[in-house]
Amino acid sequence: MAYLTLKGLNKIYPNGYHAVHDFNLEIERGEFIVFVGSSGCGKSTTLRMIAGLEEISSGDFLIDGKRANEMGPRQREVAMVFQSYALYPQMTVYDNLAFSLTLQGVDEDVIEQRVLKTAKILGLTDYLDRLPRALSGGQRQRVAVGRAIIRKVGIFLMDEPLSNLDAKQRVTMRSEITQIHKEIGATTIYVTHDQTEAMTMADRIVVMKDGYIQQVGTPHDLYFNPANVFVAGFIGEPPMNFVRGVVKNGAIDFGDQKVDLRGKLGGGASYYEGRELVFGFRPEAIKLGSHDKSYKIDCNVELTEMLGDNTNVYITAGDQRAILKVDPHDTPEIDSKITFSIPYENVYLFDGETELVI
């Protein structure tokens, strides 16, 4: 039995809005699970149902096999880190960290020991006497995380904890939270709209859209084996390129060129004749120039973005647009004509109607 079991969870608000549909997931003890998706997809609502802050409309939430639907947050032994730091502004860092233990009546010597240990883990030892307003955003976020881990509960819930930080602070805190998880070993459920956070932090990712789970898997699974067009386009930066077209004589149009899919479709080529397909390829999966065992596309370079370790090249082929990711030393000139190749094994095909991978 999994440590946490979410079985057919639904959330329907009094106005009839169905926020989460038939959510099923099993989470092992100590896993780092990330819920990811666009705003309004139901990820935070699901997290709040796990926390006991939202009532579960139907379905079962189990902790170690025991139904927890009617338990309050304290009974569930969860600690939550919110998007806002929610620190007490009149209290020092020490007192913010100690507050929950003080409420529990923990002995002062034990509180001091646990506060100092938590501060050391989070690099806050030199800031214990400061008020929150004297801290940077990253330091305040560390205090918020510290208030959660000091309680020594089995389940950490984090709702977009890094969204208020700048890009550099987010990178730093990503690695720090991952390291803390390894040291503490608590089961962690983390909500974000940022696929980079999901890919770099998670043991498994739950991709959501419109209240439904789209796919659950490791970062590797989701990147290399997306279940549908949404997951393929959501995971990866820049996103996967898509070309929609109706199959005619085994081929679809890529702008003003034909892409023969008979070899890729195999025995399914006749089935998809006259049907719409989605041809997908990742920007980094291409090779400049003409190569064997590849689809070759002639195109015009519209724009380039030099990013240091790579260059994004925006191209057009007829009326079709795409992004290519190339070595910066191979950056083509704007307005030039180039040829790029997509190896057969790097192409994804999706059903045009269901948008499921073929």
User: What pLDDT does residue 1 have?
Assistant: 44
DSSP string, 257-318: EEEE-HHHHGGGHHHHTTSEEEEEE-GGG-EES--TTEEEEEEEEEEEEE-SS-EEEEEEET
Q: Which of 45-49, 81-85, 153-157, 251-255 has the lowest mean pLDDT?
A: 81-85
Please give the full DSSP string across 173-221, using - where no structure is assigned.
HHHHHHHHHHHH--EEEEEES-HHHHHHH-SEEEEEETTEEEEEE-HHH
C-alpha to C-alpha distance for 158 and 34, rounded to whole angstroms: 9
pLDDT tens digits for 51-62? 999 999 999 999
Residue 225's pLDDT is 97
What's residue 86's pLDDT?
79
Task: Over range 32-54, report the average pLDDT.
Answer: 96
- Map tokens 């025991």 to a residue: 66
Predicted TM-score (pTM) of this structure: 0.90
Rg (CA), the chain: 25
CA dist 235 and 198 (Å) reads: 9
Model confidence over 97-123: pLDDT tens digits?
Answer: 999 899 888 899 999 999 999 898 888
* Alpha carbons 218 and 331: distance in angstroms, whole number: 33
Largest CA distance in the chain: 79
CA nearest 357: which of 240, 203, 251? 240
From CA 281, how far away is CA 348, in angstroms rounded? 6
Contact criterion met (CB below 8 Å) for 159 and 82: yes
Identify the DSSP state of 331. Answer: P
Q: What mean pLDDT is predicted for residues 214-224?
A: 97
Structure confidence at residue 11 as a pLDDT band (50, 70, 90): very high
Pairing verdict, β 58-63 and 66-67: antiparallel
Strand partners, 212: 209
169 vs 336 pLDDT, higher one: 336
pLDDT of residue 319: 93
> Collapsing DSSP states into helix, strand and coil, what is residue 95?
helix
pLDDT over threshold 60, residue 223: yes
Residue 334 contacts by C-beta under 8 Å, 6 or more apart in sequence? 301, 302, 303, 304
Query: Domains of the chain by range and CATH?
Result: 30-55+68-234 (3.40.50.300), 241-351 (2.40.50.140)
Mean of the per-residue pLDDT values of the chain: 93
| Helix, strand, or coil (residue 134) | helix
Task: Count CB atoms within 10 A of the CB of residue 341.
Answer: 18
Summarised one tens digit per residue, pLDDT across range 239-268 is: 999 999 999 999 999 999 999 999 999 888
Q: How confident is the model at residue 81 (pLDDT cuts 50, 70, 90)?
A: confident
Residue 289 has pLDDT above 50, yes or no: yes
304-319 burial code (b ≥16 CB/10 A, e <16): beeeeebbbbbbebee
Question: Would you place residue 2 in the very low, low, confident or very high pLDDT band (cuts 50, 70, 90)?
Answer: low
Region 137-148: mean pLDDT is 87
pLDDT above 50 (res 162): yes
Q: Name the residue with higher pLDDT: 83 or 277.
A: 277
